[in-house]
Homo-oligomer: A and B are copies of this chain.
Amino acid sequence: MLGEFEQIAQIMAPLAEKVEGAFALKNDAAVFSHQAGYENVITTDTLIAGVHFFANDNPRDIAHKLLAVNLSDLAAMGATPRYYTLNASYPDTIETDWIRAFAGGLGDMQDRYGIHLLGGDTTRTTGPLTLSLSAIGEIEQGKSLSRQGAGIGDLLCVSGTIGDGALGLLVAQGKLEDPTGILHKRYLCPTPRVELGQQLVGVAHTCLDISDGLMTDFEHMNVTADIHINDIPLSTAAQSALQKDSTLLSFILNGGDDYELLFSIAQNRQNELVEIAQNSATKISVIGRITDKKQTCLIKEDGTQLTDLKKGYRHF
């Protein structure tokens, strides 16, 4: 096992080498700035072995997810990712090779999203592997997307497909079959919708990322909607699983780990969605409409309402 300083110099510092203000991770703090007319956007998430991932998951996948969940939050604000800091608390079971592979995964995500390591802290813990990451982006001043501000009549939209993450967790737990491996992969390595978020700036009235489940996160918009279940986009793998077991619908609607964007736009801008989807190479589906009703209605194909769904994931 490399010592603390050697590990930082040999494994982590290369991730920061393109950022002058990271001082090769040798200083007490790092320096960064935003362009004139822009502002910083910051988000932070902690992932813990046994809670948010499995201790024996591939370190590259853990690195992917750690960055993805944070980039997803930046995407929900419409921000362009720039930097991140990492707090890693390693149990004794973590060896240097593990850290090298983990850093490899971070490097892949850096290349994909144009972000760079800015600083961090490495500690030893008697508990499970605990990883906190803060992602920093920038956005034109006053332009960030928000969870509040949906108007009655707005179209409610989602990116990608819903439910793969929740079903993928069932796969990881050995509770569901996944012949193609797609559900498990979507759970392990979610895709943050960074380009879509940027495209939605100045277009969407509200935006958030679905991390706790579609229905739970929708509640954060503080409005009601008619949502058409059949319009909720499902992957072929999810459709196939649902056909075999219709009770999985509750996991699809309420399970976490989608990391898709949920957003609302004015009805008269619907025609812009095609170009936005194209520019961001991301599928967009209209799943419903904001209403002035007292309650959100989940509407089935036959026009009747679905009731009695379990609630989404909360940490406690």
Binds B, one of A10-18, A105-113, A124-132, A243-251: A124-132
Q: Which of A26, A77, A89 has the most CB of B within 10 A?
A: A89
Q: Which chain A residues (122-144) contact chain B, with CB distance < 8 Å?
A: 122-128, 130, 132, 134, 136-137, 139, 141, 144
Quote the shortest CB–CB distance from A138 to chain B (angstroms): 9
Q: Which chain A residues (40-73) contact chain B, with CB distance < 8 Å?
A: 40-46, 48, 50-52, 72-73
Q: Which residues of B contact A39 (CB under 8 A)?
A: 21, 31-33
Q: Which of A87, A89, A132 has the most CB of B within 10 A?
A: A132
From B30, B77, B315, A123 is in contact (CB under 8 Å) with B315
Q: Would A85 and B44 count as touching, CB distance under 8 A? A: yes
From B46, B79, B120, B141, A33 is in contact (CB under 8 Å) with B141
Q: Which residues of B contact A118 (CB under 8 A)?
A: 42
- What residue of chain B has the Cβ atom nearest to residue A69's Cβ? B121
Q: Bound state CA distance, A85 and B48, in angstroms?
A: 18
Binds B, one of A1-9, A173-181, A233-241: A1-9
Q: Which residues of B contact A308 (CB under 8 A)?
A: none
CB of A116 within 8 Å of the partner chain:
no
Q: Would A48 and B316 count as touching, CB distance under 8 A? A: no
From B23, B41, B48, B130, A30 is in contact (CB under 8 Å) with B41
Q: Would B40 and A40 count as touching, CB distance under 8 A? A: yes
CB of A314 within 8 Å of the partner chain:
yes
Q: Would A36 and B36 count as touching, CB distance under 8 A? A: yes
CB of A295 within 8 Å of the partner chain:
no
Q: Would A127 and B124 count as touching, CB distance under 8 A? A: no
- What residue of chain B has the Cβ atom nearest to residue A21's Cβ? B39
CB of A169 within 8 Å of the partner chain:
no
Q: Which residues of B contact A45 (CB under 8 A)?
A: 87, 121
Q: Would B125 and A51 count as touching, CB distance under 8 A? A: yes
Closest 6 CB pairs of A and B: A127-B127, A29-B43, A33-B39, A28-B76, A28-B73, A87-B132
Q: A32-B40, A46-B87 are in contact. List 16 more A-B contacts (CB 8 A).
A: A4-B314, A21-B39, A23-B146, A26-B147, A26-B148, A27-B147, A28-B72, A29-B42, A32-B39, A33-B39, A34-B34, A40-B40, A42-B119, A48-B126, A125-B128, A130-B130
User: Could you jot down 14 A-B contacts, CB within 8 Å?
Assistant: A23-B147, A26-B147, A28-B72, A29-B43, A33-B38, A33-B39, A42-B85, A42-B136, A43-B119, A48-B123, A87-B87, A123-B315, A124-B316, A125-B130
Residues of A within 8 A of B (CB): 1, 3-5, 21, 23, 26-34, 36, 38-46, 48, 50-52, 72-74, 76-77, 79, 85, 87, 89, 118-128, 130, 132, 134, 136-137, 139, 141, 144, 146-148, 208-209, 220, 314-316
